[in-house]
Structure 1
Amino acid sequence: MSPRVFDCIAYLIEHRDRAVGRDELMASVWGRADIADTQLGQVVLRARRAAGDSGDAQLAIRTVVGFGYRWVAETVEDDTDAALPADPAPDPAPVPVAPAARRVPLIVLALLLVAAGALGWTVHNGRQADPTPVAAAPAPVVATGRTIAITPARVDATAEWDWLRLGAMELIAGRLRGAGQIVIPSENVIALAQAAPDPRALADAVHAALHPRWIVASTFLKADAGWIVRLQLRAHGHETREFQGQADDAIRAAGLATAQLLATLGAPADAAAAPPDALEEWLSRIDAAVLVEDLDSARQLLRNVPEAMRTRPALRLRQAEVDFTAGQNEAAAAALQDLLDGLPAESDVLVHARAVALTAAVQVRLGRAAEAEHSATKALALLEGHDAPALIGKSFMRRGVARARLGRADEALADLAQARIALQLAGDTLGIALVELNEGALSGIRNQPAEALASFVRAEAHFRPFGASSELAIALTNQVVAHRALLQPDQALAASERSLALLGHLANVESTQLVEVRRAQALADVGQWREAEARLDSLARAPDLEQQLELAATVANERARIALARGQPEVALGLVQPLIERLTAREFAGNRLECWETVIRALHALDRDAEAATAATALAEWARHADDRSFTARLRLVEAGQAERAGRFDEADDRYGAALAAAGQEGVPADIAQVAIAYATALLARGDITRAVPVAGRLDRYASRSYDAAVVQVRLYRALRQAEAWRRALDNARALAGERPIPADLAIEPGALVIGPALPPAGQR
């Protein structure tokens, strides 16, 4: 157990009478509170493991959503002095493999809010495995026929050499890549190793998920005469070949064994057999620490590198990568700029390209989309003619995300398609999954929820074998968004149910909150108000909610939606009205529109029509400057509602028609249903049954799964005095209602039908 893990457990036990906030726990373990959430999550995960606990069970350490953690295991104080064992033997256990949730830092960004509510599509921006998406049963990654997967080494030596377990992966991979071989990025293998630590099980998992042509397993043995390194080259279902190197130095022995392996593959072996550079061991140690996100150890190693080596470009690049992994983006940007200022491209093209490509990733994180596009383009130019498909794929992906941020969706999709091809050649399944994720987000932005859903389902299937919790959270919560846009509440609920299994495994608090809010939305959609409100209330009490304006707006709007449905318009108004003037930034436009819609509905319910008219005028003025075509249907619907309240029925019909046309052009079921429900309800309230029939008819396809559409159907059949059809519709609405009350007047059986044209009440036309 590391000192920080011990301190974490000790502090939680000492304060087990209460929940401990994240900042307080950080201060107790690190001595300061400005620690990345990923680092705290990593320590908590290890603390749970040390206590025999897990994120699923939470029998010892319970996550207090939006706040921190609490020790909950039964605990007995023992004042007896315990003797410590003398001279404890060094722990020979291998370096633990980090779960994928800690491997890629997460930034969750809502790119657009779809008309059906706070439906923000989420993308993923990672560290070295960058933005992406996936589909149903995952299509296998068809590698080039020469990809190599390298598994963690078995190290038979004292604990000081444990770093070789993962460091050797990057060491051998570097030698193989230098000879023109395609080596699958180590992140893929490490993620699989978390779920399959046994070497035989890991080999099967690697074959199933990554489809390499060869797997290389290594053994490092420290003997009296020096080091013996054995490499085993395995092709699935074929005989294993073994190569051995022996030298005073572990890296030299590994190089000799790798040279033999390359000779067997018919590849140049001179570079692999060359004596090791003194920096190579330091880089391998740092890489091993970064692969498990032990960033403190990585930083300590960087500080310990001999002074003469500290100016080497490869080492300076590692420093920037550590900063980026830790979420210290400004520091990473500065380090990369300093490196590139003194690094001519011709000196080391691949190091230069890696630095420029990482610069693009940092700029994406910092919201500098135009600069990120430029950097990614420059990286791709540097890589032209080089056999580096993984880096080429990541560069295309980063440029695609930058172009998506710049509103150039077609170019972004083209870049993501090229990223997919390059990552396919690299055998980078995790990278391809991230491409799928971003393609799905782009489809969502383009109001294509069915295409988005297919990508997110594929993403889920690809990520599951890797135990990639953060990425799975994005795939599943985006599925909730897509299902809601498609008016599929049961499927949205099922996707949110699957996401609950990730709670406790997510090192990033924003990911946890995203799971919680999507679960609450899915519950509210099926009328499970009590549980939805409990989750929303918990999120609303999160101590850092004021710093997360988008989440605050989403939570407030969802709570207000339930309050309006409960007949509590004052409560709804109080929840959302104060947010309108805070949501002025462009990225919050969708949230702001929804707040305005809720305010106007609440004011109507309170018969405060003059205030509603003022709010609608302000909304129209803001929308004119926002100039977002995706809001057209919702804006026309607000105008129609205002005209309806004022008795200007011709104007209302015109606006309802325009809203229906706009929604139909986009083709998103939730938008179409929202407009048709409002228009049909208005026509029925006027008594204009004849014109209500075709509008309500648009809802027939949704009435079996949408409660609001089902209620309109009940109203229509009751107005038509069709008792049998009314009865079936009422049964359907009751089945969908959950905790929502059926309006009392709809439960009264209709009388006999009066034959003749339906006319509006006198004086209304």
Structure 2
Amino acid sequence: MGPCIYRFFDCSVDVAARELRRSGERVALSPTVFDCLVYLIEHRGRAVGHDELVAAVLGKVDVGDTVLRQMVRRLRQAVGDAGNQQRVLRTVAGFGYQFIAELTVDGGAEPTAAASPVLAPPTPAAPARRIGWMASALALLTLLAGAAAVLHSGRERRSDPPLPPVPAAATTDAAVLPVETAAAEQWAWVRLGLMDLIASRLHAGGLTVVPTESIVALPRDRPAAEMASAVRKLSPTRYLILPSAEHNEREWIVRLRLDADDGNHREVEARDADVTRAGQLAVDQVLILLGRPPSARAGEQVSLDERTARIRAAILTQNLDTARKLIEDAPVELQRTPELRYSAAAIEYGSGHLDTAYRALESLAKDVSAESDPVLRGRLMNAMALISTDLGEAARAVDHADEAIDLLGGQREPLLLGRAHNTRGIAYSSMGRYDESSADYAQARLALTIAGDARGLVTVDLNEGILAVLRNQPAAALPLLESASRRVELLTDLTGLALAASYMTEVHLLLLDPVQALAAYDHATLKLEGLHDPVTRNNLDYAGAVALQANGRLAEARGKFDALVRSADVANGNALKPLVRSHQAKFELGLGRSQSALNFAREAIDAIQSPSDGRVRADAWLTATRAQRDLHGGAEADAEVKRFSAWADTQNNPVVALHARLAEAERAWSRNPREAIPIYDAALRQALQLGMPAYVAMVVNSYANGLLGEGDLNAASTVIGQIARWGDRDFDCALTLARFYLAAGKQDAWKKALQHARALAGERPIPIALATPPDDNPRLGSRQP
């Protein structure tokens, strides 16, 4: 006899009542999804195959895999099971699914052991800084660059089995170079537009083709031989295809030369009055040579192919006004096609109109079902997920990416699948779900390796470097970011270069190396003359302003901060402004303008909400407590610290907790230093455990000022020893060391520390008291940390 109620995690399944509850709340499920759950539970001792599950739940076997994947996806959502985490359902690749959660049964039955180890929910690590609006700036290029590629979507493709396990390095079937042509200026679009059409048609014929975006990212004015060599270095490929197009009075002549990796060469030729038709005929010959049947094409498709190719060429060269006009001038029936509707949405995104782009994709998705065209719908879901991430809607992004991965997992589309995993990884990162993010990036890397997507792999490298920053691992992040920076520079990917430089700047600052931080910023800015995206440029300038401030170039830093605040009308300006305010607050406090510092800090605290910006909000709040203490002290300062600590307790973020503990220690010192010492000691232990020089120095510099003010040189020496190694590269550490040696009467050491401080000061003043040589009985006045 069947059991009454199954229980696992926070879920209960009442079979008799046909009811699923989660955390005590009833979850609405369709009958088929509920039956699917019960069947998997009752057969939990083994994996259940696709056909068996469909037959048991739906009562028939002639149902596509897409329907089953959608049903399982809804089931996972209902029980809180992420597809890559798989605490409840395990996907058995190429076969089916297995229920694996530990189970109890009402009525005292013994728990059933899970068939495989159960993964515990990930514990979020501490976010260091924003991720969504920076990492997605690079990832969203896949939406912009892939706008016209929907032409060869799932409606022309057979359903292939899932991808096999991915090798460490994969060789693609083909890479298509830009078209060589001497045609008139009006045909300039042929160079990239026809190249993309050839690549898309080869892909539709079942070949793996290096993505057009990776080819276009290479320096453009290279001879064909040099470009061919660069392509082979970036992505091993069996055939390089070198196209040419010649136009005479009557027709176009398109030639495709195939250079095989074994040194052999073949060439095909096709002629037609329409250049896209000639290109299609040439590709068909290549497919036949390679033993692949060409895709059937309707004659009336040629007009759409040409217009789509021209739009694609305009988008690839970021000439969005031209692309928009090509759509506006198209016949109404063409404007209504999925190809041009997708392109229009991509152009809106590229113009910074994210809400408009999302609504356009959402409208198109209503007309594309999973059953009619799973590949196109998967592409749409990924694009909507990317934009949702950029808009700060991470949970919505995960839902869209889940559907994209479900749809694309059974198709032979490694490029699209890899991009969808990368998208979900970005969304998870912005939510502080770093284990799941890391798993998605790993899946993205495998799929994009198969696809030969050099540019996509660099994107994953960057995102993994950023993830290391978010996990408070700057030393691990730096080599990843430096490697990615070199590769995006080779690809002339300006957006990627700016992104890498932004995070490399932050990492160097966390490692207390402001000179290298500024060098990373300066190196990137020299190479970004052609970067027109204001969002990416502003993000880099924000990192540069912080680096300038850390190097004592205060006037330049202030100018950049002011300019960034004025640019709040551009896309993402509202997200950037509170981050700028946080640094302006520290700036003002350093100049003794406490009220202005408090105003800026409060603005930042009120506006910053993203978990990935928790450290910046905590930094602003620490500044606010210091300003409040300077202005009012007493009850108001106590209340500020209490509010800060209460918020920090809700964050599960060790960096935020460290800032709050330091605020508590400083406030306690103003009342009773003895009361503050154990709080400082705990903060210092926490900073050393985090292992980031910037946070160790933050605590030590504050603690040491208090100890020196009390004349406790023995205790101060123990604390200050933690920062001695950074006295020659960080201004605040140099000042603290000079203050200690002055108090201890160590003249030679004092002179050396003071020399370092002066070299690092820039426009920052050296306190007059520190510039006076130590006498025989030095004493410092009482000083508040």
Q: TM-score under structure 2 normalisation?
A: 0.73
Structure 1 residues 585 and 424, CA gap change in structure 2 (3 angstroms) = closer
Question: Unmatched 5+ residue regions in structure 2?
Answer: 1-124, 145-166
1:361 alignment partner in structure 2: 386
Amino acid of the structure 2 residue aligned with 1:187: E
Structure 1 residues 375 and 513, CA gap change in structure 2 (3 angstroms) = closer
1:424 alignment partner in structure 2: 449
Q: RCO greater where, 1 or 2, for CA within 8 Å and sep 6 or more?
A: 1
Match of 2:735 among 708, 711, 716: 711
What is the CA deviation profile of residues 43-64 of structure 1, one whole-angstrom value per residue up to 9, with x for unaligned ones? xxxxxxxxxxxxxxxxxxxxxx
Kindly indicate whether residue 778 of structure 2 is the aligned counterpart of residue 743 of structure 1. Answer: no
Match of 1:437 among 462, 470, 474: 462
Structure 1 residues 294 and 715, CA gap change in structure 2 (3 angstroms) = closer
Instruction: Look up the SS of the partner of 2:252 in the other structure.
Output: strand
Match of 2:199 among 173, 178, 182: 173
Q: How does 1:267-286 map to 2 (within 5 A)?
A: 267-271=291-295, 277-278=301-302, 279-286=304-311
Q: How does 1:406-425 map to 2 (within 5 A)?
A: 406-425=431-450
1:553 alignment partner in structure 2: 578
2:20 alignment partner in structure 1: none
2:69 alignment partner in structure 1: none
Q: CA RMSD in A?
A: 3.5
1:694 alignment partner in structure 2: 718
How far apart are the structure 2 equivalents of 1:627 and 1:660?
18
Instruction: Look up the SS of the partner of 2:675 in the other structure.
Output: helix
8 Å Cα contact 2:385/2:423 also seen in 1: yes
2:691 alignment partner in structure 1: 667
1:188 alignment partner in structure 2: 214
1:482 alignment partner in structure 2: 507
Instruction: Look up the SS of the partner of 2:625 in the other structure.
Output: helix
How far apart are the structure 2 equivalents of 1:347 and 1:187?
27
Kindly indicate whether residue 751 of structure 2 is the aligned counterpart of residue 727 of structure 1. Answer: yes
Kindly indicate whether residue 312 of structure 2 is the aligned counterpart of residue 287 of structure 1. Answer: yes
How far apart are the structure 2 equivalents of 1:275 and 1:549?
49
Amino acid of the structure 1 residue aligned with 2:517: A
How far apart are the structure 1 equivalents of 2:325 and 2:611?
41
Q: Per-residue deviation at 1:642?
A: 0.7
Structure 1 residues 259 and 503, CA gap change in structure 2 (3 angstroms) = closer
Kindly indicate whether residue 704 of structure 2 is the aligned counterpart of residue 680 of structure 1. Answer: yes
1:104 alignment partner in structure 2: none
8 Å Cα contact 2:594/2:627 also seen in 1: yes
Kindly indicate whether residue 662 of structure 2 is the aligned counterpart of residue 649 of structure 1. Answer: no
Q: Per-residue deviation at 1:594?
A: 2.7
Amino acid of the structure 2 residue aligned with 1:686: E
Q: Per-residue deviation at 1:644?
A: 0.7
How far apart are the structure 1 equivalents of 2:584 and 2:332?
58
Amino acid of the structure 2 residue aligned with 1:371: R
Q: Per-residue deviation at 1:272?
A: 7.5
Instruction: Look up the SS of the partner of 1:533 in the other structure.
Output: helix
What is the CA deviation profile of residues 483-521 of structure 1, one whole-angstrom value per residue up to 9, with x for unaligned ones? 111111111121121133255433122333333332222
Instruction: Look up the SS of the partner of 1:506 in the other structure.
Output: coil
1:153 alignment partner in structure 2: 179
2:104 alignment partner in structure 1: none
How far apart are the structure 2 equivalents of 1:357 and 1:262?
29
8 Å Cα contact 2:128/2:471 also seen in 1: no
Instruction: Look up the SS of the partner of 1:483 in the other structure.
Output: helix
8 Å Cα contact 1:373/1:403 also seen in 2: yes
8 Å Cα contact 2:430/2:611 also seen in 1: no
Which stretch shifts more, 711-720 or 585-594? 585-594
1:129 alignment partner in structure 2: 142
How far apart are the structure 1 equivalents of 2:425 and 2:461?
12
Instruction: Look up the SS of the partner of 1:422 in the other structure.
Output: helix
Instruction: Look up the SS of the partner of 2:745 in the other structure.
Output: coil
What is the CA deviation profile of residues 599-647 of structure 1, one whole-angstrom value per residue up to 9, with x for unaligned ones? 332344457455433422332344345554431111111111111111x
8 Å Cα contact 1:130/1:397 also seen in 2: no
8 Å Cα contact 2:704/2:719 also seen in 1: yes
Which stretch shifts more, 541-550 or 404-413? 541-550
How far apart are the structure 2 equivalents of 1:436 and 1:220?
37
Match of 1:495 among 520, 525, 533: 520
Structure 1 residues 713 and 438, CA gap change in structure 2 (3 angstroms) = same
Instruction: Look up the SS of the partner of 1:271 in the other structure.
Output: coil
8 Å Cα contact 2:648/2:657 also seen in 1: no
Q: How does 1:115-264 map to 2 (within 5 A)?
A: 122-125=134-137, 126-127=139-140, 129=142, 144-194=170-220, 196=221, 198-235=223-260, 238=263, 240-264=265-289
Question: Unmatched 5+ residue regions in structure 1?
Answer: 1-110, 132-140
How far apart are the structure 2 equivalents of 1:122 and 1:227?
44
How far apart are the structure 2 equivalents of 1:719 and 1:663?
26
Q: TM-score under structure 1 normalisation?
A: 0.75
Structure 1 residues 610 and 388, CA gap change in structure 2 (3 angstroms) = same
Structure 1 residues 311 and 512, CA gap change in structure 2 (3 angstroms) = closer
Amino acid of the structure 2 residue aligned with 1:370: A
8 Å Cα contact 1:258/1:273 also seen in 2: no
1:630 alignment partner in structure 2: 655
Match of 1:350 among 366, 371, 375: 375
How far apart are the structure 1 equivalents of 2:132 and 2:309?
40
Structure 1 residues 538 and 321, CA gap change in structure 2 (3 angstroms) = closer
Match of 1:514 among 525, 533, 539: 539
Which stretch shifts more, 435-444 or 604-613? 604-613
Instruction: Look up the SS of the partner of 2:295 in the other structure.
Output: helix
Percent identical pairs in the alignment equals 34
Structure 1 residues 543 and 175, CA gap change in structure 2 (3 angstroms) = closer
Amino acid of the structure 1 residue aligned with 2:704: A
Structure 1 residues 375 and 619, CA gap change in structure 2 (3 angstroms) = closer
How far apart are the structure 1 equivalents of 2:740 and 2:756?
14
How far apart are the structure 1 equivalents of 2:572 and 2:217?
32
1:71 alignment partner in structure 2: none
What is the CA deviation profile of residues 268-327 of structure 1, one whole-angstrom value per residue up to 9, with x for unaligned ones? 143379968334333323322322233344344434545555555444444444444444
Structure 1 residues 225 and 412, CA gap change in structure 2 (3 angstroms) = same
Match of 1:564 among 581, 589, 593: 589
Amino acid of the structure 2 residue aligned with 1:341: K
Amino acid of the structure 1 residue aligned with 2:512: L
1:46 alignment partner in structure 2: none
How far apart are the structure 1 equivalents of 2:632 and 2:325?
66
Instruction: Look up the SS of the partner of 2:135 in the other structure.
Output: strand
Amino acid of the structure 1 residue aligned with 2:214: N
Q: How many pairs are equivalent? A: 635
8 Å Cα contact 2:131/2:429 also seen in 1: no
2:10 alignment partner in structure 1: none
8 Å Cα contact 1:600/1:616 also seen in 2: yes
Q: Per-residue deviation at 1:522?
A: 1.4
Structure 1 residues 197 and 601, CA gap change in structure 2 (3 angstroms) = same
Structure 1 residues 511 and 304, CA gap change in structure 2 (3 angstroms) = closer
Kindly indicate whether residue 457 of structure 2 is the aligned counterpart of residue 461 of structure 1. Answer: no
How far apart are the structure 2 equivalents of 1:331 and 1:520?
32
Q: Per-residue deviation at 1:468?
A: 1.8
2:419 alignment partner in structure 1: 394
What is the CA deviation profile of residues 206-247 of structure 1, one whole-angstrom value per residue up to 9, with x for unaligned ones? 344445443212122223453321111224793543211223
Instruction: Look up the SS of the partner of 2:530 in the other structure.
Output: coil
8 Å Cα contact 2:128/2:614 also seen in 1: no
8 Å Cα contact 2:565/2:580 also seen in 1: yes
Amino acid of the structure 2 residue aligned with 1:127: L
Which stretch shifts more, 234-243 or 384-393? 234-243
1:35 alignment partner in structure 2: none
Amino acid of the structure 1 residue aligned with 2:449: Q
Instruction: Look up the SS of the partner of 2:723 in the other structure.
Output: coil
Q: Per-residue deviation at 1:363?
A: 2.8
Q: Per-residue deviation at 1:391?
A: 0.9
